[in-house]
């Protein structure tokens, strides 16, 4: 299902584009398909990765990598999501790449999300909201975040002892939201907490299109 969504998004890529590359397993499928097409058709494509992980993949595949500083308005950003509600609000950041993902995705002229149908939810906050916090202030931020639900510092499960550390050198708190707050308001509220760098609610810039992979094909969701 993820591959079907990625293949459909690939059809949106045109020669000469600057592409924002999302992070995560579905975005990596898109990146690998993109690299195949670039090689087969000799396309002139520049990619702006949203994480060190997807940057490594892009470099290994021979893609031309640049940055948001050099291309502050990518033509198209293609990214995955952890949850998508009926209004196309998103929760992202399961891979702890949320700050750079938001910077690239929000800056792009067109933002497209690729998911499988299991990511569609009736309530956005069925999944925890990742919140990237400064290491020197995570305890203080955690106390404030309790106003909105139950916060838990994300710990590493592989290799590293202690908290997950983002590409920006920060920690991640996963917030199980229990407060009755609209996504757009909560996105702003969380970023107002001292010590918070960014959060994983994507509501102020909803995707222009969500491509959903299904067992038999794809369906496309657009803002109403």
Annotation marks residue 101 as catalytic: yes
The catalytic residue among 28, 55, 101, 198 is: 101
DSSP collapsed to 3 states, the chain: CHHHHHHHHHCCCCCCCEEEECCCHHHHHHHHHHHHHHHHHCCCCEEEECCHHHHHHHHHCCCEECCCCCCCCCCEEEECCCEECCCCCEECCCCCCHHHHHHHHHHCCCEEEEEEHHHECCCHHHCCEEEEECHHHHHHHHHHHCCCEEEEECECCCCCCCECCCCCCCEEEEEEECCCCCHHHHHHHHHCCCCEEEECEECCCCCCEEEEECCCCEEEECCC
Which residues does the annotation mark as catalytic?
101
């Amino acid at each position: 299902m993820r591959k079907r969504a990625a293949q459909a998004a690939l059809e949106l890529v045109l020669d000469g584009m600057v592409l924002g590359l999302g992070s995560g397993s579905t975005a990596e499928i898109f990146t690998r398909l993109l690299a195949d097409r670039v090689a087969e058709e000799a396309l002139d494509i520049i990619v702006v990765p949203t994480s060190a992980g997807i940057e490594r993949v892009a470099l290994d595949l021979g893609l031309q990598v640049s940055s948001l500083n050099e291309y502050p308005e990518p033509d198209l950003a293609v990214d995955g999501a952890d949850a998508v509600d009926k209004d196309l609000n998103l929760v992202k950041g399961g891979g702890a790449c949320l700050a750079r993902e938001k910077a690239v995705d929000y800056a792009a002229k067109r933002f497209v999300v690729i998911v499988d149908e299991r990511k569609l939810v009736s309530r956005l906050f069925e999944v925890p909201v990742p919140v990237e916090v400064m290491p020197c202030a995570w305890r203080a931020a955690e106390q404030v975040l309790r106003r909105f639900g139950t916060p838990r510092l994300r710990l590493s499960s592989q290799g590293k002892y202690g908290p997950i550390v983002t590409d920006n050198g920060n920690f991640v708190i996963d917030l199980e939201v229990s407060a009755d707050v609209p996504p757009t308001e909560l996105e702003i509220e969380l970023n107002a907490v001292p010590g918070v760098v960014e959060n994983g609610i994507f509501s102020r810039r909803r995707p222009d299109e969500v491509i959903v992979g299904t067992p038999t094909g794809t369906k496309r969701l657009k803002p109403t």
